[in-house]
Amino acid sequence: MIATDDARIRAAAEGVGADCVLTSTEHESGTDRVAEVARRFGFVPGDVLVNVQGDEPLIEPRLIADLAAALGDRPAVDIATAAAPIRTLAEFLDPNCVNALRACDWRALYFSRAPVP
């Protein structure tokens, strides 16, 4: 399902047969948009939702499936973020590449578009 606040995106999605819902324009993040859809469609705790941002159109479908499965296997975990190692200095310095700093137990400490220590 595609959730958007833009009628043009909705029209394009529906034009290729995708399920689409128009959401509020007041959201500050995609996570807020997903929460609106979850409330509207009656999702309950234990349901797994995977939020794929519009700026990640080439994400591997297998990664989405793996993330959903990992969340389904860990009901105590409320949220997860897919991350990969940064391999180059250019990637590290690129503001379009979100840096995730994690603890040794893999919990996210924070995210930044700026280089992190």
50-81: per-residue pLDDT in tens? 888 888 888 899 999 999 998 899 888 888 88
Give just the sign of the alpha carbon dihedral 89, 92, 94, 97.
positive
Q: What pLDDT is stored for residue 54 in this prediction?
A: 82
Ranges under pLDDT 70 in the chain: none
Distance CA 73, CA 89 (A): 35
Question: How many whole angstroms from its chain centre is CA 94?
Answer: 19
CA distance 114 to 117: 10
pTM listed for this prediction = 0.73
| Cβ pair 1, 10 in contact under 8 A | no
